[in-house]
Homo-oligomer: A and B are copies of this chain.
């Protein structure tokens, strides 16, 4: 359900204009790849060439057409068919494949309706327009509008419009003297993850939630609409999960890190803490317009105005609706397809992509699946050509990601001990392609490897390499925004990976297990997210007509897997990690000082100094560890390399705390986590950040202690690595 790429799209349009004027040379990557000796690098080169040569646009196109033949929502027979298809392809490519089934709690809509009852009675549409030129828009087998994990219910009432439905939006509403209690909240998509919109409304006493797609966010204000362009047309509906993603993902019937294996203890729906209790529905802007035009009450603050052609009002009054949602819910089977290439050591690298989709899912997620199949085909070819990876490669084709990262989470929970012990990295791809702009998020220790492989892949249309185009774009953004110091001493641009939030399958790996993770893709203008128009026609006309970026994505993923699997020493680097998390802390400290400047009463000015000190020691240790790791990779024996790999691999684990984050113990990473109230967007230092949000001194002190201890554990682990000989 990757939303990051979609959110990046419009931003990148601007950035790409800026890049025209920012042509300073890109830093050359180091000659010997991270973690490799020169000899190993030379030996690997032949197989890496196979990864460059093997993936083809034609194959990616073929896989995508097959994968998106029908809508394939998790728990449906159609999705089982797609699982079988993927299993068969991976088997053909020569990999060891197994199908792993879990029974997990899911819902499908049985009956949904939404009727405007004031000022006039009109039933609103919960299905999308059919375009004759688009076979997939005929909605064959397509569910109508509903929310994954949405509650059943029948409610009617006045509407109140609350912008994106964030806590800040609700606070603004409260400051205006308007309550949502007993009302149905109308919010637009964007900002927080949709489940957290429902959570916020429910906690404030709303009886139902309608979420619509505003044309200002991904409709006509961002470009030509489907079927004439890539953006959201008036009838398109954004389906999606309303799980409380930042509290806990995975099967809600087996919380607390328990895998949904046979015989697992289960809780009932009313015991679940991470799903809503009030009904919600997604609607299209053509339907939302009917409601918004009639809303009374005060005019919205400027920032709440969307792209419909009239002045928005907040309500209540003027418009009321009746909503009726009846769900078919219970345990349903989901299928992860797991393919393995055995390595020569006992470490593993996992790469994954989800397969289930709300609709045909040509973008989300099957552009990733198509690319991943090409990656797998090339890996098979390399093995046939004699390649022997040092680390075992596990490819996961996850199911039920859309409901709440369910397939990957249950698998990671089921394999927690093995992964904790052996996993060097988890490499994710969700949406692989909506356009041309490469981006990568991940833990900072994988930055160098991602950068090195991106620099090896040709940029299909603009020329140069994917890595060069990526760095150039980030550099332009940095140049326009980074502070200027008139007294000189200005920081140089340094490429960093985007920070991981949540919303895709890396979550269980990094946040629950402390496995270093990345997430990559190519983005562009994409407005049909989670609608029936996210289909093969869209991709063929707007997303990647020549499938060149699918090929590029397959290459990047494949090289990344190969490098992590083949390196003499696990290719994790920590000086950049120290810099990145120091930057993150400084951003938080800056935010605190800024808030203090505007504070109404006593400013909340907590003391970060113990974290600052801990980071300084972490930095010192990281320099030593990186130096030792280079020395072992280039001059050490296999035993030293194995010890170094094991030591480096455990650094990320050291950031975990068994208590987890406040109120969400499943999230154990103390430095990386999704925002409690954002879901998608990252909150570095999530516990400390939550305390800042809540101005809670006791929480701050407790969370600061956990952070300092986590950094100290990581520092100690780096020192152990530095001592490896």
Q: List A residues at the B interface (Cβ < 8 Å).
A: 10, 13-14, 17-18, 20-24, 172, 175, 215, 220-225, 229, 231, 299, 301-303, 305, 307-311, 476, 479-480, 482-484, 486, 490, 586, 589-590, 593-594, 597-600
Contact = CB atoms under 8 A, between A and B. Distances in A.
28 contacts: A13-B302, A17-B172, A18-B598, A20-B600, A21-B599, A21-B600, A22-B598, A22-B599, A24-B599, A221-B311, A222-B302, A223-B311, A224-B311, A231-B311, A307-B309, A479-B597, A479-B598, A480-B594, A480-B598, A484-B590, A484-B593, A484-B594, A484-B597, A486-B586, A486-B589, A486-B590, A486-B593, A490-B593
Contacts of A222: 302, 305, 311
Contacts of A486: 586, 589-590, 593
A220 B310 contact: yes
Question: Quick one: which of A18, A309, A599 has the most chain B CB within 10 A?
Answer: A309
Q: Which 3 A-B pairs have the closest CB atoms?
A: A479-B597, A479-B598, A309-B309
Question: Quick one: which of A22, A299, A302 has the most chain B CB within 10 A?
Answer: A302
A667 to B, nearest CB: 27
Contacts of A308: 309
Nearest to A476: B598
Nearest to A308: B309
A471 to B, nearest CB: 14
Contact of A14 (B301, B305, B309, B589): B301
Contacts of A24: 599
A176 to B, nearest CB: 10
Given A17-B172, A229-B311, A598-B476, A221 B305 contact: yes
A483 B20 CA distance: 28
Question: Quick one: which of A303, A307, A586, A589 has the most chain B CB within 10 A?
Answer: A307
A304 to B, nearest CB: 11
A215 B301 contact: no
Nearest to A480: B598
Contacts of A14: 301-303
Given A309-B308, A594-B479, A594-B484, A13 B301 contact: yes
Contacts of A221: 305, 311
Nearest to A289: B309
A225 B299 CA distance: 11
Contacts of A482: 597
A305 to B, nearest CB: 5
Contacts of A299: 223-224, 229
Contacts of A13: 301-302
Contacts of A172: 17
Contact of A215 (B17, B21, B223, B309): B309
Contact of A311 (B20, B225, B479, B483): B225
A311 B215 CA distance: 10
A92 to B, nearest CB: 42
A589 B485 CA distance: 10
Nearest to A215: B309
